[in-house]
Structure 1
Amino acid sequence: MYDRILVPTDGSDCADLAVEHAINLADQYDAELHVLSVVDARDVSHSAPAISPQQVEQTLRERAESVVSDVADRAKDAGVADVVTAIEPGVPDDVVVDYASENDCDLIVMGTHGRTGLERYLLGSVTERTVRRSDVPVLTVRSHEEEAEEE
């Protein structure tokens, strides 16, 4: 059913829940797992004046490398044979949609971020924009906090 599963991650708790689902699905379907972290261009361009954009980008890239390496290790420990890691610069939803298309991924597994109020109205969310723009199915995984808020 699934040959290549993409899991974008930023290392957050919500993304980690999506990682668990993606690893389980990749193991179940013997699928190749693509682990992607995006170095958000907006974070680099809005850095503090005392810190150079290059320093910010380097710090974000190092964090991304740590996150994808950790996920790859977890996937291999869970029995996923084929794991591909990638770190890409750019706007997250653009990068996720393009990466899925360019790598023939047939499922994207993402955490929701549960934005509410004005922030969500103004910015939307990476997950919402990805769902709207993706040509492949997007499985969204809610955080425990979001589930608790609805109860």
Structure 2
Amino acid sequence: MYDEILLPVDGSPASEQAIPHVFGFAEMYGATVHVLFVADTEHDGVGGIVGGEVLTRLENEGQKLVDGIVNRAHERDIDAVGVVEKGSPHEAILEYATDHDIDVIVMATHGRTGIERVLLGSVTERIVRKASVPVLTVREAT
């Protein structure tokens, strides 16, 4: 059913909580896990004013995060690959899913409500609305 599973991560406790679900699916279906970190270049200072130094640091931190999750998968004999992209997170996730024939996307939701959700938006919400494959959301435990 699921051969290719996409796990977008951002280093938050919420995204950490999605990992056991992904590993469980991967073990159940013999799937490959694609761990994706997107260095968000949409915010001022990352891609603009401060530019290269901040973006490089963000990409390096993302690579450490991705490598750690991939290593944890390999310790459980799960096929896994890790990728760091830069750009708009929701656009990069959707593009990656299409380009790599992803069967399901599993990602965290931070549980923002009210004005915080309106002002900050939600990458997960955009993925749920626009993805052409199923999306499993894992809510951050409080």
Q: TM-score range by the shorter chain?
A: over 0.9
Summarize deviations over 1:74-93 as a string: whole Å, max 9, x none: 1111220x211111111111
Summarize deviations over 1:8-33 as a string: whole Å, max 9, x none: 00111100111221111111110011
Q: Which residue of 2 aligns with 1:109?
A: 106
Distance in 1 between the 2:9 and 2:41 partners? 16
Q: How does 1:2-151 map to 2 (within 5 A)?
A: 2-43=2-43, 45-47=44-46, 52-80=50-78, 82-145=79-142
Please list every run of at least 4 consecutive aligned residues from structure 1 whose deviation after the TM superposition is greater than 3 angstroms. Answer: none
1:42 is paired with a residue whose SS is coil
2:54 is paired with a residue whose SS is helix
2:57 is paired with a residue whose SS is helix
For structure 2, list consecutive stretches of 5 or more residues without a partner in the other structure: none
State the 1:39 CA deviation: 0.4
Distance in 1 between the 2:125 and 2:50 partners? 31
Give TM-score scaled by structure 2 length: 0.94
For structure 1, list consecutive stretches of 5 or more residues without a partner in the other structure: 146-151
Tell me how large the CA RMSD over aligned residues is: 1.5
Amino acid at match of 1:46: G
Give TM-score scaled by structure 1 length: 0.88
2:5 is paired with a residue whose SS is strand
Summarize deviations over 1:90-129 as a string: whole Å, max 9, x none: 1111111110011000000000011122121233200000
Higher relative helix content: 1
Distance in 2 between the 1:127 and 1:3 partners? 22
1:84 is paired with a residue whose SS is strand
